[in-house]
Amino acid sequence: MVTSTNSGTQFSNGKIEPTARTKVRRSPQRGQYDRATIHAILDEGLVCQVAFVVEGKPVVMPTAYGRVDDRLYIHGSPASRMLKSLQQGIDVCVTVTLLEGLVLARSAFHHSMNYRSVVVFGQAELVGDFAEKAAALKAFTEHVVPGRWDSLRPMTELEVKGTTVLALPLTEASAKSRTGPPIDDEADYGLPIWAGVLPLGLQAGAVVSDPKLGQGIELPEAIAHWSRAGRT
């Protein structure tokens, strides 16, 4: 199904060839390597975790992101230490984790969590091209609230230039997930202990209008009915 023309990874028929780093070894049935699954998780998540090495030691930081096709984008101020490090083309590892439920078994040992997650390895590239940078900046905004970009005061050239955007190609990536009820020891099923799953998800509360909001400005539908689950 997957045609590899070299020892690395590449796309073919919607699948990303696993590498030694992305192949899920613990509970291999939980690993998924198709683009649709990976993209769906990335599109639902809002915060990614970016890990890199500074002076031989690991650093991981949460940050917002966006996706366009097979590229994951992160951005920030040119003064950001993280972005200054990353734009030198060093290795990164990025994860996005969607916690979907607490798996409550009859023993502590079999407690678990339901989740979907993605891990991406690679080297981030500084995006210099103005058009790609502008498209990425649009993607960040559309990622949090679809449709918002067009309702905003347009981005200025200075703002585009004053933002550092990095791209990470989704060429070495995999997804992992757990779903379903707890798996207890056979002998424990007869115990009078409640077991099951408590589903969890990110939910929006009541919107808080900016105290400086002008009169008569209506709340957009996309914000009033914002929902993240099953986004794609």
Residue 128 interacts with a second copy (CB under 8 A): yes or no: no
How far is residue 52 from each of residues 8, 67, 169, 186, 193, measured CA to CA in Å? 21, 20, 16, 43, 44
CB of 5 to a second copy, least distance (A): 24
Token pair belonging to 121: 């390895």
Nearer to a second copy, 2 or 104 (CB): 104
Per CB under 8 A, the segment of 7-15, 32-40, 167-175, 177-185 that binds a second copy is: 177-185
Neighbours of 59 (CB within 10 A): 13
Q: How far is the CB of 1 from a second copy (least distance, A)?
A: 27
Per CB under 8 A, 131 contacts a second copy: no
CB of 208 to a second copy, least distance (A): 5
Q: Taking CB under 8 A as the criterion, which residues in 22-61 touch a second copy? A: 25-26, 46-47, 49-53, 56-61
CB-based contacts of 177-180 (< 8 A; 24+ apart in sequence): 177/30, 177/32, 177/114, 177/115, 177/116, 177/117, 178/27, 178/30, 178/103, 178/112, 178/113, 178/114, 178/115, 179/100, 179/114, 180/114
Nearest to 203 by CA among 229, 232, 177: 229
Dist. CA 36–CA 147, nearest whole Å: 22
Which of 9, 163, 164, 174 is in the footprint of a second copy by CB under 8 A?
163
Rg of the chain, C-alpha, whole Å? 21
Contact with a second copy (CB under 8 A) among 3, 128, 211, 230: 211
Q: Which of 5, 210, 230, 232 binds a second copy (CB under 8 A)?
A: 210
Contacts with a second copy in 78-97 (CB under 8 A)? 79-81, 91-95, 97
Size of the site for a second copy (CB under 8 A): 94
Q: How far is the CB of 166 from a second copy (least distance, A)?
A: 15
